[in-house]
Amino acid sequence: MSSGAHNLEKDIKKYKKIYFALLIFTVVTVLAAKFHLAVHLAIIIDLIITTFKASLVASFFMHLATERPVIYWLLIFTGFFFISMLLLIYVSHYSIYEGLHHVP
């Protein structure tokens, strides 16, 4: 058997493991919805599970696990920029309405 065929079998096993992990986390997400938790707790749990699933997909199916470290810094910067823009919108929205309802 050539090394290419060996690497292919190794990759297929890895992708099958990732696939079954994604299936398991999907089942966990559905089961978590059945527990009728408080809304904020359910959202936090679902976001944690979804973040883990997204990181599996990005790391292995999009081949980010083998990328250079520069791509990680770009992703971190993009995430930081996105969150900061959302926070700016949030703060500006509530500072406008807070001033309208304030009675001296």
Domain boundaries, position 88: 68-104
Q: Is 42 found in the same domain as 74?
A: no
Q: Is 47 found in the same domain as 77?
A: no
Q: Is 57 found in the same domain as 20?
A: yes
Q: Is 44 found in the same domain as 25?
A: yes
pLDDT at 40: 87
pLDDT tens per residue, range 85-101: 999 888 887 776 555 55
pLDDT at 94: 72
pLDDT at 8: 86
DSSP 35: T
Nearest to 18 by CA among 55, 49, 71: 55
Rounded Cα–Cα distance for residues 23 and 25 (Å):
5
Rg of the chain over Cα atoms, rounded to whole angstroms, equals 21
Q: Is 74 found in the same domain as 58?
A: no
DSSP for 45-103 reads HHHHHHHHHHHHIIIIIS-GGGS-HHHHHHHHHHHHHHHHHHHHHHHHHHHHHHHHH--
Q: Is 89 found in the same domain as 62?
A: no
pLDDT at 16: 94
Q: Is 4 found in the same domain as 34?
A: yes
Report pTM: 0.61
Q: Is 88 found in the same domain as 55?
A: no
pLDDT tens per residue, range 19-66: 999 999 999 999 988 988 888 898 899 999 999 999 899 888 887 777
Residue with tokens 């986390």: 25
Count of domains for the chain: 2
